[in-house]
Amino acid sequence: MRFRNAVLGVLSLVAAASSTGAAIDFEGSVPVGWSESGGGSLSISADHYRLGSESLRWNWQGGDVLTATGVTIDSSKVLNFYQHTCDLWLYSDTATAGDVLTVEFLDGGGAVQWRFEVRLNFAGWRHLLRSYKYDMEKVGGGTDLQTVRFIAPATGTGGLFLDDVEWVRSRQTRRRDRAMPDIAGYYGN
């Protein structure tokens, strides 16, 4: 009985630590520093959400860029063996074969350090887990990350929702799927 209670206590602490992370849940208004360049729009929506009761809605047009400046990404965790995972949820209004969303992480000077792509060949929610260390394209490889860019496909239009975003968190098993076929996966570490 003591062992069971000890295990339950440890699990409770782990769950509490996980739930108190720096997740962005987009309640109420578009966060300061988040902007859209191009013909699209940003808004808060209750149509689809994962955390809380709202998410960030991005209606994009070909070539648009959603930029988040002044983001808080702990540089000591980006390549840390026990951290190194970017975790966010993305909802797509419609599946579009061939369309790719590019996500880039930039340093304070505006230079891209890390990048990954997501195929938009799905409708509904997709859990995007990417390791900086193992799954992203190392462009500069720096860890002082201050800006994140989401680059829409070059042509077309669409609607995406973002929610429950953690720029860096404890590592998790990442699995390949149709949207992210280039995942290395936890067991390959």
Instruction: Provide, rounded to the nearest whole percent, the portion of the chain with pLDDT above 90.
Output: 63
State how far the alpha carbon of 185 is from the alpha carbons of 51, 133, 158, 169, 172, in Å: 25, 11, 29, 15, 9
pLDDT for res 162: 96
pLDDT for res 10: 33
Pick the more confident residue, 109 or 129. 109
pLDDT for res 112: 98
pLDDT for res 15: 34
180 pLDDT exceeds 90?
no
pLDDT for res 114: 97
